[in-house]
Structure 1
């Protein structure tokens, strides 16, 4: 593993408080391997049985579900430094329910989950740190999914949009912010129809609730 790879991995939350030298040492313990994916390629498919988690080093991934009629819903976007697959990478886990797709050219580190959770004979302190980091990330991911459920539980498209935009504003600590989605991605994330959502955004702007341009939004005082 070269210096550039180690520098990228050091930025990932799962390696918080672990040095580059310790990361390199961990790769043997966790069977770490790096793979490249081209834009549009499938990293994991729904129905796969997996035994490894992924860490995005470069690029962006999308976790999406596809229903019987071919409708797509975005579950999550995964950016550099973030992990995926942790909930299903064990021997007794269910098959993956969703596809993981590369939105751009990507580099991903894969680590065997069983080897992460089982300490090697050296019982390294930084291996313990890796496990603690994984637990912290899983807790944060659970909070993220709870927020999404809260947005989607709203009855109308306007209520879903206001719930989501208000949540982002609170996270950013500002009434002016960028969201990580384009229009289609936002519609898929909130499980609403794109044209209806776009029309509702226009009405919300006309009603003095928001200003927006592309993915830049500003919440206005009523």
Structure 2
């Protein structure tokens, strides 16, 4: 197995507790497929046949949900080592429920789900660890999806923005941080228009609550931001 691929896979939670040597053996059993995608191309298309559990080896991508009218909502951003398709990999669903778009040139490894949960032909000791990791990932994803439902239930524009910024502050443990979503993707994520988002961010800046420059945000009045969502 290519050393660059192993380096990209090692940090993934799917292979937590599995050494590089053992990982090579496990991948030999799984027989994954590696594909490369140019910038702005679809890695997976909602409605098309499911191709297996995906692991982003290099690049950045966005998971999006599109409707029949062509509008879309950005669900999450993917970076090297992140996985996608885990929620349907072991279900009866045969088609991708969402789309994945390459934000930069991407290299992706697809693992056949039937081989992840199946019996290892080489009786690999690490295969059991792989299954344990997969179950942990699915449990954590279910918790996050529950949080997503709560997030989408927030009605006010400022409340949505404040909740998002406070979450970013908690994750980074800093009052100044860089947003992982650009303005368009953030508007999609919050399910608001880009114009309305920019207007409200401007108002919050004018009121001295935040400062921002491109993707960088500084919280100037943390107490005021917290009061918005109380």
Q: State if a TM-score over 0.5 links the two structures.
A: yes
RMSD of aligned C-alpha atoms?
1.7
Q: Show structure 2 runs of 5+ residues with no match.
A: 225-230
Confirm or deny: 8 A CA contact 1:33 1:111 kept in the other structure: yes
Q: Deviations over 1:78-114 (max 9, x none)?
A: 1111100111224622522211111111111111111
Confirm or deny: 8 A CA contact 1:32 1:109 kept in the other structure: yes
1:200 counterpart SS class: helix
| 1:73 match | 73
Q: Structure 1 residues 162 and 91 mapped into 2: Cα distance closer, same or farther (>3 Å)?
A: closer
| TM-score of the pair, normalised by structure 2 | 0.90
| TM-score of the pair, normalised by structure 1 | 0.93
Corresponding position: 1:108 with 2:83: no
Q: Structure 1 residues 174 and 146 mapped into 2: Cα distance closer, same or farther (>3 Å)?
A: farther
| 2:228 match | none
Corresponding position: 1:44 with 2:44: yes
**Higher mean Cα deviation, 113-122 or 186-195?**
113-122
| 1:215 match | 215
Confirm or deny: 8 A CA contact 1:49 1:94 kept in the other structure: yes
- In the alignment, the residues of structure 2 paired with residue 191 and residue 147 of structure 1 have an alpha-carbon distance, to the nearest angstrom, of 15
Q: Show structure 1 runs of 5+ residues with no match.
A: none
What's the offset of the Cα at 1:24?
1.2
| 2:138 match | 138
| 2:160 match | 160
| Structure 1 residues 62-211: aligned runs within 5 Å | 62-90=62-90, 92-93=92-93, 95-211=95-211
1:212 counterpart SS class: strand
- In the alignment, the residues of structure 2 paired with residue 12 and residue 76 of structure 1 have an alpha-carbon distance, to the nearest angstrom, of 17
Confirm or deny: 8 A CA contact 2:29 2:122 kept in the other structure: no
1:166 counterpart SS class: helix
Q: Structure 1 residues 47 and 139 mapped into 2: Cα distance closer, same or farther (>3 Å)?
A: same
| 1:14 match | 14
- In the alignment, the residues of structure 1 paired with residue 43 and residue 51 of structure 2 have an alpha-carbon distance, to the nearest angstrom, of 14
